[in-house]
Structure 1
Amino acid sequence: MVDKNLLLYLPFDDPDGSKAYDYSAGRHDATLSDGAELTKIAKTGKALALNGGECITAQAIPFSSDFTVCAYVKIATTRLGWLLNLPGVENYCEQWLDVAPEMWYFIAFVRSGSTFKVFLNSECVYVGTFSGTPTGLSLSTDELLTTTASVDELQVFNVAKTEKQILKMQADTDVEYYIDGVNFKDYGVYVSASDGLVGRLARKEALTVDYDNYHGVVRDRKRKRFKEREITLQCFIEASSRSAFVEWQSRFFALFDGDGTHRLTVEYDGKAKPLVYEVDLLDEAAVDKKWGTYNNELMVGKFTLKLTEDEPVKKVLRHISGSNNSKATIKVSTYKLLNIYWGDGTHTYNVGGNDTTVEHTYALPGQYDIVVTGVIEDIEKFETNAILIWELLK
């Protein structure tokens, strides 16, 4: 679901070093300049290293109403300062905070009416009031000439988040598993271990020639191709009674019974860069359980879910829109055919050719992850108006 109160979300995990994608519905992507770059030294994934440069987006903080601005920051010195500029001459609020150099801190600024709060990690470090409409908000270090600060997971909301919500945004979360957008936990199913989600795929057998008057064999090592991906999830299911147990496990397995493939999404470190697979359940999934002594007793059963991804090499994109009938566009040049799974249960097969443009209309607003499968390595040109999450995932 698209958060309608989220005005800007820059996770800085993008493959393109000159652009930072906005994961909010507004899509106010930011541009990097003058030395600013995306670095892998991050709180999660990549981060923005300013290096004296700039990261500019068209989205402004809604100073005339309630707002929340939050991000992870890391600086090279021991003093982190902020300033809220107010109308008039020499009218502002400011604070300098003692921090450890090269450590990540979560900082949040919250305006609720005339009250302004600042949170550093799990602590509220400032509460004050003001009148009028603020004109600017800045973060500073005590470096003299420029800043080498890094920023990660920047978010701007047009509402005042509560302290509980602020704490939740920075809390470590479980790995979440979804099938066709439904969280496993909604059916009382939890994943205790997984195998095959990441790692090198097995290669297909290459052309091999065995000359009887030579040692060994001659093997074709060009254009390596890979076998399907096998994913194994060790699961357990909890239910409040015997009858609920039978109902919940039946309803969960029925999620895999529809036509076509099913979308497995794994959020392992936030929502911006999930692992995404188009899978099918081909094997049985026998549940190992013991019936409860009484019908209203907690029941737990264990089972292994073996999923197969027939097309394991892919690009993953994201289309975000807050309006009806929005369009995702892909323009591609490739002599190998591609399949596109649009993330709303529909697909377009056998896409290829020179400068071929494919459009897809989403009837409802929302967030949709698009999977493009095929011989991704041989694509000659690829352009899209969607966010590029994974340039090559296999």
Structure 2
Amino acid sequence: MVDKNLKLYLPFDDPDGNKAYDFSTSRADAILSDGATFTRNSKKGKALSLNGGECLTAQTIPFSGNFTLSAYVMTTQSRIGWVVNLLGVENYREQWIDVVPKQWYFIAFVRNSDTLSVYLDGERVSIVSLGGGNPQGLSLCTDELLTTTATIDEVKVYDVALTEADIMKAQANNDVEYYIDGVNFKDYGVSVSKSDGIIGRLAQKEALQVDYDNYHGIVRDRKRKRYKERTITLDCFLEASGRSAFVEWCSRFMALFDGDGTHRLTIEYDGKAKPLVYEVGLYDDTDITKTWGTYNTDLMVGTFKLKLIEDEPVKRVLRHISANDNSKASIKVTSSKLLNIYWGDGTHTYNVAGNDTVVEHTYALAGEYDIIIAGVIEDIEKFETNDIVIWELLK
């Protein structure tokens, strides 16, 4: 679901380069310059290392109304500060606080009516009056005079004042969430205790080989490796309030895998910006181990394994975000190998190939859609899109 109050979201988990994708509906992608880079020394995935440089986006903080700005910050200095500029000469609010160098902190600025509250790791450490006016600027500072070597991650700007509970939730580490076709397993009382096959090296297909009788060993073709299908096994358990509910929830959950075509498995392991996504099928039977409750109202728990197969395991993953209906995704690709595109709304386009081939898709409803491009991704010669590249290569 699209959060229309989220006006900027820079997770900085992008492919190395000078662009930081905005995962909000604003799509105000930021540009890195003057030494700013992505670093893996981060709170979540990658982060932005300023190195005295800049990261510029066209999106601005909505100072004329309520807003929330949050981010993770790490500095080599022993304190950080913030300055709020107000209308007038020498009219500002400033505060500094001691921190541990090279340690990550979650900081949030919340403007609610005439006050600005500052939260550090979920605790409110400052509340100042804005004197009846709107802020003119807001800066987060270190003791470095000319430049900053601070590292920043997960920058979010909202056009509403988040509550203290919202701030705590934003900082909290979330569970790993499993979805099938956009439906959370937990909505059916199902949790995953263990997973196999979601990451790691795929099994390689047998390569061409020649066995000469007058030579030791064999001669094997070591070029252009190709891989077998992916097998994903999820160890699951289902809780229900009684026997009838247990049977009903089991039936309804298994029915999610019915229907034609493949099904989209999504695993959110560290927020929503960079999930693992797979187009899978459930082809084996699934036996549920359970013990019937003594009474129909007894809590019942059953365990089972889901064996899911992904036929096309090598892929590129994009994200399309729009707050409007009938938005369009566009891909321009040059590839001599056939590619299959799964648009994330249950539709697909097969056998895409050729020189500068343009493929477009219209989404009837607003939302977020993860697009899978499956095939010999390594042989794509040219690629352009108006969407976010989440994974250049996922296998």
| Mapping for residues 336-375 of structure 1, pairs under 5 Å | 336-375=337-376
CA displacement at 1:115 relative to structure 2: 1.4
Aligned to 1:296: 297
1:317 maps to 2:301: no
2:111 corresponds in structure 1 to: 111
Which residue matches 1:19?
Answer: 19
Q: Which residue of 1 aligns with 2:124?
A: 124
Q: What is aligned with 1:215? A: 216
| 1:241 Cα offset (Å) | 0.7
Please report the TM-score for the alignment, with normalisation by the length of structure 1.
Answer: 0.99
The Cα RMSD (Å) is 0.5
> Shift in Å at residue 258 of structure 1?
1.1
Cα distance in 2 for residues equivalent to 1:143 and 1:65:
31
| Structure-to-structure mapping, 1:67-106, within 5 angstroms | 67-106=67-106
Post-superposition shift, 1:382? 0.6
Report the counterpart of residue 9 of structure 2 in structure 1: 9
What does residue 391 of structure 1 align with?
Answer: 392
Matched residues, number: 394
Residue-by-residue CA offset, 1:297-354 (whole Å, 9 max, x unaligned): 1100000000000000000000000111110000000000000000000000000000
Aligned to 1:267: 268
Residue 257 of structure 2: SS of its match in structure 1? Answer: coil
| Aligned equivalent of 2:66 | 66
Deviation at 1:144, TM superposition (A): 2.5
Is 1:187 matched with 2:195? no
- Taking the aligned partners of 1:98 and 1:88, their CA distance within structure 2 comes to 29
Residue segments in structure 1 that go unaligned for 5+ positions in a row: none
Q: Distance in 2 between matches of 1:289 and 1:96?
A: 58
Amino acid in the other structure paired with 1:220: D
- SS of the residue corresponding to residue 251 of structure 2 reads helix
2:227 maps to which residue? 226
For 1:115-264, what aligned pairs fall within 5 Å after superposition?
115-130=115-130, 131-264=132-265
Task: Specify the SS of the correspondent of 2:70.
Answer: strand
Distance apart, 1:273 and its partner CA: 0.2
Return the alpha-carbon distance in structure 1 between the equivalents of residues 119 and 146 of structure 2.
Answer: 27
Q: 1 CA distance for matches of 2:293 and 2:17?
A: 56
- In 1: Cα distance, 2:112 partner to 2:44 partner: 29
Partner AA of 1:14 in structure 2: D
Q: CA–CA distance in 2 between the matches of 1:382 and 1:5?
A: 32
CA displacement at 1:200 relative to structure 2: 0.1
1:118-153 Cα offsets, whole Å, 9 max, x none, are 000021000122221110000000013311001000
Take 2:356 and 2:217, find their aligned partners in 1: how far apart are those partners? 44
Give 1:279 deviation, angstroms.
Answer: 0.2
Aligned equivalents of 2:259, 2:29: Cα separation in 1: 37
Structure 1 stretches of 4+ with a deviation exceeding 2 A read none
Secondary structure of the corresponding residue to residue 213 of structure 1: coil
| Structure 2 alignment gaps of length 5 or more | none
Shift of 1:116: 1.0
- In structure 2, distance between residues paired with 1:128 and 1:239: 49
CA distance in 2, matches of 1:46, 1:310: 30
**Corresponding residue for 2:45?**
45
Residue deviations 1:183-241 (CA, integer Å, cap 9, x gap): 00000000000000000000000011111111100111110000000000000000001
Partner of 2:170: helix, strand, or coil?
Answer: helix
Counterpart CA distance in 2 for 1:2 and 1:83 is: 32
How high is the sequence identity, in percent, across the aligned residues?
72
1:252 offset after TM fit, Å?
Answer: 0.3
1:76 corresponds to which letter in structure 2? Answer: T
CA–CA distance in 1 between the matches of 2:168 and 2:6?
A: 17
Instruction: In structure 2, give the amino acid aligned to 1:158.
Output: D
Distance in structure 2 (CA, Å) of the matches to 1:45 and 1:329? 27
Deviations 1:33-59 (A, max 9, x none): 000001111100000000000000000
Alignment of 1:329-340 (within 5 A): 329-340=330-341
Hey, what's the Cα distance between the residues in 1 that align with 2:165 and 2:17?
A: 34
Give the whole-Å Cα distance in 1 for the aligned partners of 2:258 and 2:19. Answer: 41
Q: TM-score by structure 2 length?
A: 0.99
Q: Provide the C-alpha distance between the structure 2 equivalents of 1:73 and 1:378, rounded to a whole number of angstroms.
A: 39
Question: How many angstroms apart in 1 are the aligned matches of 2:71 and 2:311?
Answer: 39
- Give the C-alpha shift of residue 381 in structure 1: 0.3
Task: Look up the match of 2:382.
Answer: 381
SS at structure 2 position matched to 1:161: coil
- Letter of the 1:19 partner, please give it: K
| Deviation (angstroms), 1:285 | 0.9
Rounded to whole Å, the distance in 1 between the matches of 2:172 and 2:92 is: 31
